[in-house]
Copies of this chain bind each other. A is one copy, B any other.
């Protein structure tokens, strides 16, 4: 294990001499193996190890005993130890993000704070080869491109993953051989049940029926995707720099003549680069939004604009293609994916329950106010919930054509202040339900319906 970790450190330039390495230690086997293997590597490269542990404020006593365990280990190893108690659920509610995202933000925030105090270095986290395979499977099942299939990387800025290339089995045997104490696995911090279902059900099924070596197959796939993905990223940034005409903190202007000459694959990426340049992040920006911007830019009709998540606006003006911050708005545009099961969106104070079941004869659907039923086979792509965007249209139940959502709101006499707060259930093409109001006629249950999608809110 030590040799593999050392090889990864060298190949990906993870640790430099005298770096301060903040090791995120939950106490589970992965992070303990990471910690001990880094201590072994110290014989080859001189660097400092700091132990950091976050108590996420869930799992009560268990979490406290984990915290005490990591503290004791740090003492025994005579290593600097930092710990913090956070309230990930409360923070998530406050920021309008899921508690998993909140946990991640708080955790990395804490690690970075330590790094700021102790000086130059990196944050080491304990993802392994099986985690990588699970990530790839989950992304594949939800839909992704090459950028998703590259999975996690050995290094992203100041975050390093020295044991990413090592599989769970080798970690376990390392723990066993070196008689390293650990606490139970921390999977209960993971986003709900899907990762566990992938780990415990789907991957074993694939191993048995299709590819006994799926973990390694996916590892290789992630490497291929990473190579192609890195090239596309570098190339797009190069092209972006050539195509950009003006760039400040309010807007980015691209030259349409040059933009139009690029391949569609690169055009899409240039739009992403522009948004990321302006906003620091691509979070909340979907494939669909990028394609809407692309259509706008290709049509090049002066004066048109589209509003995206995070108050970004894309517009055209003569030969300028513009991505800008939308200062007129103070409404947060949100978008969350909805999976089967219950999703609790604390940020918008709604929870949704999604079910799919076959339409059997004599089936009686419960007519509760909070539940609506749809023809499941009409759904295009995955489901999501968001608030309104410019250009939204709806085909209200019982009507033939579509109408502007804005006009629908006016007809329904919904006051302006409320309109941004009404959740819309969407698939990747249409609004299928204005929650609390009308559903989309296209998705209604008919005699041809085979499966029923039921959505409830609270």
Identify the A interface with B (CB < 8 A).
Answer: 140-146, 149, 169, 173, 194, 197, 201-202, 205-214, 216-218, 220-221, 224-225, 227-228, 230-232, 234-235, 263-266, 268, 287, 339-340, 356, 376-377, 379-382, 427-428, 448, 450-451, 453
Which B-chain residue is minimally distant from A227 (CB atoms)? B265
Select which of B141, B205, B218, B448 is within 8 A of A173 by beta carbon: B448
Pick from A144, A210, A451 the residue with the most CB of B within 10 Å: A210
Instruction: Provide the residues of chain B in CB contact with A265, threshold 8 Å.
Output: 227-228, 230-232
Q: How many of these chains are in the complex?
A: 2
Which B-chain residue is minimally distant from A197 (CB atoms)? B209
Instruction: Provide the residues of chain B in CB contact with A231, threshold 8 Å.
Output: 232, 263-266
Instruction: Provide the residues of chain B in CB contact with A140, threshold 8 Å.
Output: 140, 221
CA distance A33 to B24 in the complex (A): 58
Which B-chain residue is minimally distant from A226 (CB atoms)? B265
25 contacts between A and B (CB under 8 A): A140-B221, A141-B211, A141-B217, A143-B221, A145-B228, A169-B377, A173-B448, A194-B210, A202-B205, A202-B209, A205-B205, A208-B356, A211-B339, A211-B382, A212-B451, A213-B380, A213-B382, A213-B427, A216-B381, A217-B381, A220-B287, A224-B287, A231-B266, A232-B232, A235-B235
Instruction: Provide the residues of chain B in CB contact with A173, threshold 8 Å.
Output: 448
- A200 CB, min distance to chain B CBs, angstroms: 12
8 other contacts beyond A213-B381, A220-B381, A231-B232, with CB at 8 A cut-off? A141-B206, A143-B217, A146-B224, A202-B209, A208-B340, A212-B379, A220-B428, A230-B263
Which B-chain residue is minimally distant from A209 (CB atoms)? B197
- A364 CB, min distance to chain B CBs, angstroms: 22
Select which of B146, B149, B210, B224 is within 8 A of A141 by beta carbon: B210
CA distance A427 to B211 in the complex (A): 12
CA distance A210 to B201 in the complex (A): 12
Select which of B142, B145, B266 is within 8 A of A224 by beta carbon: B145
Which B-chain residue is minimally distant from A170 (CB atoms)? B377
Instruction: Provide the residues of chain B in CB contact with A377, threshold 8 Å.
Output: 169
Contact A145 B194 (CB under 8 A): no
CA distance A227 to B145 in the complex (A): 10
- A398 CB, min distance to chain B CBs, angstroms: 23
Contact A380 B216 (CB under 8 A): yes
